[in-house]
Structure 1
Amino acid sequence: MNRIRFYREKAGLSIRQLAKRAGVHRSYLGQVESGYYPASTKFLARIAKELGVAIKDLIGKE
């Protein structure tokens, strides 16, 4: 499972909710979670902040 998805689901958030809180488009978040697009550092910083985790927790192998 994608780490962003893991932490999002752990926080009890839908893609729509997390995208709105982080100020990113929900379809882009979904595509990053699915592995279709790589995430930029700025994107990861926004997502990490909203999930209450460090950027390093969102990247790398599971």
Structure 2
Amino acid sequence: MAYKVTEECVNCGACEGECPVGAISDAGSARKIDADKCISCGACAGTCPTSAIVEA
């Protein structure tokens, strides 16, 4: 199950560097997770300071 970014995202970028497959990108006012690339490891969710990343 892929992860998704919720509206709590403050676009800090902490998650992007933690993604081992490069599935996270800047989408303007927030980050976006490419569900096709996401391997559901949860590394991004563990680093998010606002808990904006949840299982989809």
What is the TM-score when the length of structure 2 is the normalising length?
A: 0.43
Higher Cα Rg: structure 1 or 2?
Answer: 1
TM normalised by structure 1 equals: 0.40
Query: Relative to total residues, which structure has the larger helix share, 1 or 2?
Result: 1
Asked which structure has the greater RCO (Cα within 8 Å, sep 6+), the reply is 2
